Amino acid sequence: MKGQKHRGHVARKRFGQNFLVAPGIIRKIVDAVAPQAGDTLVEIGPGLGAITGPLLECMDHLHVVEIDRDLIQRLANRFPPERMTIHEGDALEFDFARLKADGPLKIVGNLPYNISSALLFHLLAFAPLVHDMHFMLQKEVVDRMVAEPGSKDFGRLSVMLQYHYHMERLFIVPPDAFSPAPKVDSAIVRMIPIDSAEVMRSGIQQDEADGAAVQDLALFANVVKAAFSQRRKMLRNTLREFIGEADLAALGITPTVRAEDIAVADYVRLANTLADRKPG
Ligand code: SAM
């Protein structure tokens, strides 16, 4: 079946194309991003330029990362290169550090839903270079990102992102703000790296909750992944390969609770205890 056309472009499902068509919502997004003339701003997936145009009204220059060649051609026709640098390709492979010389990065995007979690994990590596990020995502994903321990939405995404960012759900966007309309509600989330200035100066990751820094990020990620691999199971089972029941209890973590019941700071303490034990 042929896809739905918007301004002469057939929306491509495989690229998660749902174009924003509601001027009021576009204005609210641009106001939330609050671009300033000299900012280094990158838009992921500019599409037909619904947010791009209004953003560029406030600034001298913008970077965009877009995968769809037809859309790139249209963007290149509409915006001159001195106003917009187009990075053609997959945002999941884009090296955002290429732009760091221009200053702390502001990143914005009405993200393709099919790659949103993968993209959030890809962006973690660049958190120290980021000033702030504003994304449109499925509301359900945003709810998981900002969820508190003890809730059913609290999961791997919550722990990994909350360790790196302050996050705030700004507002909900209904399906009729897009063409074609998605089946679900969307939401705008603001993400600000925790202590980005400090992280940039020292290369150390700070955890706000108790001031502790994760010593080994890969180990931290593995522990969190294992804990949530079977979220109905108790931590003494899911973390068996990492730590015994008595040692869990010694850390103040009840071995019979589940992954969703302990806080980000508990995962940090857990991972750091394991890092201390590692030989060498
Ligand atoms: N920003 C536009 C708007 O708000 O109307 C378009 C948003 S649409 C939800 C997602 C955009 O991301 C599309 O332009 C799509 O081609 C692009 N895209 C999809 N996958 C991508 C990827 N892996 N890397 C870069 N851009 C991608």
Q: Where in the chain is the domain with CATH 1.10.8.100?
A: 206-277
Position in ligand 1 atom list of the atom nearest CA 68: 16
Distance CA 260, CA 160 (A): 13
46 lines ligand 1 (CB under 6 A): yes
Is the shortest distance between the CB of 66 and ligand 1 below 6 Å?
yes
Q: Could you list the pLDDT tens digit for every one of the 280 residues in the chain?
A: 456 777 788 888 889 899 999 999 999 999 999 999 989 999 999 999 999 999 999 999 999 999 999 999 999 999 999 999 999 999 999 999 999 877 899 999 999 999 999 999 999 999 999 999 999 999 999 999 999 999 999 999 999 999 999 999 999 999 999 999 999 999 999 999 997 445 444 444 444 445 578 999 999 999 999 999 999 999 999 999 999 999 999 999 999 999 999 999 999 999 999 998 877 6
Instruction: Please tell me if the CB atom of residue 119 comes closer than 6 angstroms to any atom of ligand 1.
Output: no
Q: Which atom of ligand 1 is nearest to the CA of 90?
A: 24
Would you identify the CATH topology of the domain 5-193?
A: Rossmann fold (3.40.50)
Q: Is 18 touching ligand 1 by the criterion CB < 6 Å?
A: yes
Identify the CATH number of the domain defined by range 206-277.
Answer: 1.10.8.100
Closest C-alpha among 152, 150, 156, 153 to residue 169? 153
Q: What is the pTM of this model?
A: 0.92
Q: Which residue(s) pair with 167 in the sheet?
A: 191
Q: What are phi and psi of 235, to 5 degrees?
A: -60, -35
Write out the residue limits of the CATH 3.40.50.150 domain(s) in the chain: 5-193
How far lies 217's CA from each of 76, 123, 243, 261, in Å?
39, 14, 17, 21
